[in-house]
Structure 1
Amino acid sequence: MTTFPPTVAVALLVLGTAAGGATPGLTPADAAAAFKAAGFTLKGKQWRQCDDPTPTYVPGEIAEVRDLNGDGRPEAVITEGGTVCFGNTGMGYTVVSKQVDGSWKKITANMGSATFLPARGKDGWPDIEVGGPGFCFPVWRWNGRQYVLDRHQYEGKPCERNR
């Protein structure tokens, strides 16, 4: 059984997956293509982006597969955990999207855990609240080319980050 730092364990629970579980909703070829598009490399049996030698490291995992922007094609949320690469957030995520031609494209990546909100940016992409330590979280919005910082919030209410 794998033991996770508290922030990673909470993020995995929020995403609704169990560590070490099967890739939900993707063929092995699509899973490999999604990892590669996200910048991960297969090392042994682990997909890795981070070179974290510590025992708390959690290798890359496809935590969720669903159509985030309503275009009829799947997106995959790939998570990886460890404090060497992700500091006190303990994890990072990458969102990749299957394209019309069948290839996969990296859409966004960040430190922390991704929560997809009902509010939407351009082309139907959901706003992403990025959780981590603290009580005022950044929310990123798709502008048609990339996710950009839109606001900060806590429990759906605006807040200001302490500097």
Structure 2
Amino acid sequence: MRSPLALGLAALIGGAPIGPATGATAPSPGSDEAAVFAAAGLQRRGNEHYREACATALKPQTERLDINHDGRDEVLLFLASSPCFGPARGGNVALFMQNAGGAWVDLLGFLPGVEVLPTGGEHLGYADLGVANPGGCMAVYHWNGSAYVHAANRAIEPGGCQFR
């Protein structure tokens, strides 16, 4: 079964959905995924990953995509629902880009969401991203030159953003 990320990102990367780069197995030491996990504050213990101050094992999955069309992949990190992030239903997503010094930098923050997809817009050369949540509301984020910032909410089901 494909991850929710894979299904939502198909249009953004211009092709068929891709499966998660990681999931059941831990990333190889020294790999981009291992560096992204470290940048996200994930610590590996055996075959499981944890965040500081949270005893619950996380199941990270990644998707590689090029959101700014520069030929270098960014990495979208999805963490299934966990008490580590409070009452978020469905999971949390973060987006990482490698900077000029080679470090992976978070562009989005850990947002509650079950799917990330393009909205069809673009700001400063970066695709606008929608983060869909259970309940039918999609938060839309625009690139401001250094990070993604919340721009609007869009209902993807009738009444989906009524209380947001």
Same fold (TM over 0.5): yes
Whole-Å separation in 2 of the counterparts to 1:156 and 1:144: 31
- Would you tell me which structure has more helix in proportion to its own residues? 1
Aligned-residue offset at 1:102: 2.4
Query: What is the CA RMSD across the aligned residues, in angstroms?
Result: 3.1
CA distance 1:99–1:10, change in 2 (3 Å): closer
Aligned-residue offset at 1:70: 1.3
Aligned-residue offset at 1:72: 2.2
Is 1:34 matched up with 2:36? Answer: yes
CA distance 1:88–1:100, change in 2 (3 Å): closer
Uncovered stretches (5+) of structure 2, i.e. residues with no partner: 9-17
Note the 1:113-152 alignment, pairs <5 A. Answer: 113=114, 114-122=116-124, 124-152=125-153
Uncovered stretches (5+) of structure 1, i.e. residues with no partner: 1-8
TM-score (norm 2): 0.72
Count of aligned residue pairs for this structure pair? 147
Aligned-residue offset at 1:101: 3.0
- Identity of counterpart residues, as a percentage? 23
Aligned-residue offset at 1:66: 1.7
Note the 1:13-162 alignment, pairs <5 A. Answer: 14=7, 16-17=18-19, 19-20=23-24, 28-49=30-51, 51=54, 53=56, 58-62=58-62, 64-84=63-83, 85-109=85-109, 110-113=111-114, 114-122=116-124, 124-155=125-156, 160-162=161-163
The one-letter code matched in structure 1 to 2:24 is: G
**Contact 1:48/1:60, CA 8 A, preserved across alignment:** no
TM-score (norm 1): 0.72
